[in-house]
């Protein structure tokens, strides 16, 4: 009886703690994207302080990897392409090294030297006809991750050919989300979540003391939840081609371009990657889009601890082999 009473008191105590917790969220523009940063705590000051430290970390990373900041190390690498190696911080060096490993894994479907591509595809409504095939070929001629030469001893980065550039648009937000959440998780919170325009990573529990739960929209009725996914201390990154595209002669072309060919990819309209690391999930979401549904699913099924949800152009949903979704029929 004594054990039962103690157990009941413990449950009541835990329930009371959960009831006191509250989720505090700030929404702002960082890295050119919409970020939502959430902290769960019974102490509002602690939550607000954690959010601000997360924001400061994202700003720090933006300054480090920014390609539009002429004073950034990334810009220095571009300016010295074909001329000389550039010494960089160990953090940036490691990010570039990891990016090259993902390029190897995906056979070039992911490539941070995609930034070398000339902007011949325009998705602002001004493009009315297909670009010349020679122009497309020329636009990707400088893209090749193998020409990013790294020297680990000197922490230098050298772009082998003049005109080469690197950019972190397909991995940077995931990396920033990782780093921000890593800092917030050490500040005495009960839970935290960073959502960088679809690059989402969670830690701890939500304000009710439960695992974070994300709704997956029905591919045929996007205003309805098709299934639920628990992301307890997990990242989920979603990329879609439904917001930026161009229509030429009745044919739709997405803004996601295969860096190996220079042409927009086809076959998928949405890719969601689920794994513990937002940086990796970010890069793999782009990679699977480029690889297509068959090769993309094969890649994910061969990677331990990583799952995916794909929606094809004809709005069919496909998932990796080991993904467990909580299906329901509620509207």
Structure confidence by residue, pLDDT tens digits, 130-171: 999 999 999 899 999 999 999 999 999 999 999 999 999 999
- Same domain, yes or no, for 61 and 77? no
Give 269-317 pLDDT, tens digit per residue: 989 999 999 999 999 999 999 999 999 999 999 999 999 999 998 888 8
Say whether pLDDT at 9 is over 50.
no
292 found inside a domain: yes
Specify the number of domains making up the chain.
Answer: 2
Q: 108: phi > 0 → left, psi -120 to 50 → alpha, else beta; which?
A: left
- Of residues 232, 227, 196, 226, the one with CA closest to residue 211: 232
60 and 93 together in one domain: no
* pLDDT the model gives residue 10: 37
Residue/partner pairs of 74-81 with CB below 8 Å, 24 or more apart:
74/166, 74/167, 74/168, 77/157, 77/159, 77/166, 78/159, 78/164, 78/165, 78/166, 80/158, 80/159, 81/159, 81/160, 81/161, 81/162, 81/163, 81/164, 81/165
- CATH label of the domain that carries residue 127: 1.10.3980.10
Range list of β-strands (E), the chain: 22-30, 33-41, 86-87, 148-151, 156-159, 191-196, 199-204, 213-217, 225-230, 235-240, 245-248, 251-254, 268-275, 307-312, 317-319, 326-327
Does residue 27 belong to any structural domain of this protein? yes
Asked if residue 196 has pLDDT above 80, the reply is: yes
Q: Are residues 152 and 288 in the same domain?
A: no
pLDDT of residue 180: 98
Q: Assess if residue 9 is contained within a domain.
A: no
pLDDT confidence bin for 217, thresholds 50/70/90: low
pLDDT of residue 220: 58
User: Crossing angle for the helix pair 90-105 and 278-291, nearest 10 degrees?
Assistant: 30
Looking at the structure, tell me whether residues 225 and 290 fall in a common domain. Answer: yes
Note if the pTM is more than 0.85: yes
Shared domain check, 288 and 228: yes
Cα–Cα distance for residue pair 192/194, rounded to 1 Å: 7
Contact 207, 217 (CB under 8 A): no
pLDDT at 321 over 50: yes
104-115: pLDDT as tens digits: 999 999 999 999
Print the domain residue range for 216.
Answer: 21-65+171-327
Q: What pLDDT shows up at residue 330?
A: 44
* Last residue of one domain, picked from the residues 159, 181, 209: 159
User: Is 12 a member of any domain?
Assistant: no
- Phi/psi for 47 (5° steps) reads -65, -45
Same domain, 151 and 188: no
């Amino acid at each position: 009886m004594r054990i039962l009473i103690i157990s009941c008191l413990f449950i009541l105590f835990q329930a009371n703690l959960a009831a006191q917790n509250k989720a505090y969220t700030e929404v702002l523009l960082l890295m050119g994207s919409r970020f939502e940063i959430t902290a769960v705590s019974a102490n509002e000051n602690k939550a607000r302080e954690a959010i601000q430290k997360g924001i400061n970390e994202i700003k720090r990373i933006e300054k480090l990897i920014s390609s539009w900041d002429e004073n950034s190390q990334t810009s220095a690498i571009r300016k010295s392409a074909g001329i000389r190696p550039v010494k960089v911080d160990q953090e940036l060096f490691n990010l570039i090294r990891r990016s090259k490993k993902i390029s190897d894994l995906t056979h070039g479907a992911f490539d941070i030297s995609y930034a070398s591509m000339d902007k011949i595809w325009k998705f602002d409504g001004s493009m009315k006809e297909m670009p010349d095939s020679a122009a497309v070929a020329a636009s990707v001629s400088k893209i090749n991750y193998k020409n990013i030469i790294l020297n680990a001893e000197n922490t230098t980065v050298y772009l082998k050919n003049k005109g080469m550039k690197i950019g972190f648009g397909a991995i940077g937000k995931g990396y920033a989300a990782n780093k921000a959440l890593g800092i917030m998780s050490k500040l005495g919170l009960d839970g935290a979540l960073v959502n960088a325009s679809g690059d989402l990573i969670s830690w701890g529990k939500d304000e009710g003391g439960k695992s974070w739960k994300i709704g997956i929209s029905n591919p045929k009725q996007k205003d309805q939840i098709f299934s639920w996914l628990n992301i307890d201390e997990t990242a989920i990154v979603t990329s879609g081609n439904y917001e930026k595209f161009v229509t030429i002669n009745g044919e739709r072309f997405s803004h996601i371009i295969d860096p190996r060919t220079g042409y927009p990819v086809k076959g998928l309209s949405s890719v969601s990657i689920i794994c513990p690391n937002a940086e990796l999930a970010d890069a793999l979401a782009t990679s699977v889009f480029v690889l297509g549904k068959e090769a993309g699913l094969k890649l994910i099924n061969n990677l331990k601890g990583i799952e995916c949800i794909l929606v094809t152009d004809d709005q069919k949903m496909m998932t990796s082999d080991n993904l467990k979704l909580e299906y329901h029929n509620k509207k």
